Amino acid sequence: MSASPLAKSIASFAIRAHRPRALPAIPTLVTTVPRRSAAVAVPDDHVSRSAQEPLVEINSLPLQDAVKARGPRNTWTREEIAAIYDTPLMDLVYNASTVHRRFHDPSQVQLCTLLSIKTGGCTEDCSYCAQSSRYDTGLKASKLVTIGSVLKAARMARDNGSTRFCMGAAWRDMKGRKSNLRDIKEMIKEVRGMGMEVCVTLGMLDDAQAKELKEAGLTAYNHNVDTSREFYPSVISTRSYDERLNTIDNVSQAGISVCSGGILGLGENKEDHIGLVYTLATLPKHPESVPINTLVPIPGTPLGDNKPIEFKSVLRTIATARIVMPKSIVRLAAGRITLSEEKQAMCFMAGANAIFTGDKMLTTDCTSWDEDKDLLEGWGLRPMKSFERETGNPEMIDSQLETDLEKEGSSALFGTERSFKQVKLETGTSA
């Protein structure tokens, strides 16, 4: 398999970064990074290094283990994830790219389109959301859209290259919504009949509702955990962290792929980025896809005046997620429209391999299909086909051995068997 221009670019950069240069020696300071016991040698400008210094001077065993791993594991400690997250940025991106090439075709990007099928009027108090009835955002509540309008939107998405069609409804849960559930199941069946993957996000689900969606042909269910357990109560009070985990459990038990990620820029710090990845990477099974959103400030919401998050934090989170959840799809989600083409390319280098594309993403603006076609073509990337999950370099990972290990439930591939109860106990109790 020939390398894409994007893969060649990062390989070339990494070679130049490792090449000795005739630079004057730079004094270093030895500091201790929080949550890590080993000392770290940090140049006082945090970028330049003397010619004879190694590229990375940290206790990088967690990173080394992750890069060499034959498959996912869910026994990560928070300290291990912190050590990976704190790796010097370009080295972190380079290693994330290495992991990405082992488990995925780096030239492929999944194109997803997200349609709002019921807008506004939600009773939840999510501080970032335009659709909450608690805030004056100028958005009016609507009823569930017709099946015909959904199929029209799905055909347009498919004809423009999208292979996963997602539908979102603004409500807390599916209780008492039997007629809506019936219509949504019909939407799922019809869109699936077009040869597309289908994802929905409908709030909290019980196990019976999850089974009904599975029987209708649902591919994936989105239910984000949003942020770390510790910071979560600062953002939402009407739904607990454990209620989110319960829905994820119901979806997983029904045999539906889990789509779960978070939002950056809510006012959190790097410890919360680490905590977000820790929650996802220690689930009994890693999410099939991990959307990384950046806050789109909505006037009228409590977070409407938040400043944009630094891009380096976004890149670190994507790279860390790719390294510790190697087989998951990592999706650039809300807020991508604010990123330059070069920043998006850096995210692809760091392991992102999916985007939302189209006219709208729920109620916010999205990059158009034509713009994204130009973006992918310019960087030597191509759309992933529906239900396509190609392994990267067959010389680097024995896919048959991986399959055998998976059938055996080997701890070498997945780590110790864990339950959602264990996840809740280990990550603390919700507020």
Residue 182 bears catalytic tag: no
Out of 259, 316, 322, 336, the active site residue is 259
Out of 49, 73, 78, 122, the active site residue is 122
Q: Which of 326, 209, 323, 328 is nearest to 257 (CA)?
A: 328
Residue 112 bears catalytic tag: no
- The amino acid that residue 90 corresponds to is M
Q: Using DSSP, state whether 188 is helix, strand or coil.
A: helix
Q: Which of 244, 140, 253, 118 is nearest to 187 (CA)?
A: 118
Residue 347 bears catalytic tag: no
Out of 166, 177, 239, 244, the active site residue is 166
- b/e sequence 267-290, b meaning 16+ C-beta within 10 Å: bbeebbbbbbbbbbbbbbebbbbb
For residue 199, with 0-12 CB atoms within 10 Å meaning exposed, 13-18 middle and 19 or more buried, which class applies? buried
Q: Which of 335, 172, 174, 162 is nearest to 262 (CA)?
A: 335
Q: What are phi and psi of 395, to 5 degrees?
A: -75, -20
List alpha helices for 104-195, DSSP H: 147-159, 178-192
Residue 366 bears catalytic tag: no
Out of 199, 316, 322, 336, the active site residue is 199
CA 285 to chain CA mean position, Å: 15
| Ramachandran quadrant class, 138 (left: phi over 0; alpha: psi -120 to 50; beta: rest) | left
Out of 78, 101, 129, 164, the active site residue is 129
Residue 189 CA: distances (Å) to CA of 46, 92, 303: 53, 41, 37
Residue 239 bears catalytic tag: no
Please give the full DSSP string across 62-120, using - where no structure is assigned. HHHHHHH-SS--S---HHHHHHHHTS-HHHHHHHHHHHHHHHS-TTEEEEEEEEEEE-S
Q: Which two tokens stand for residue 151?
A: 């199929």
CB neighbours of 403 closer than 8 A, spacing ≥ 6? Answer: none
Q: Which two tokens stand for residue 330?
A: 């990592």
Residue 113 CA: distances (Å) to CA of 26, 153, 166, 362: 49, 9, 6, 9
Out of 126, 177, 322, 336, the active site residue is 126
Catalytic residues: 122, 126, 129, 166, 199, 259, 331
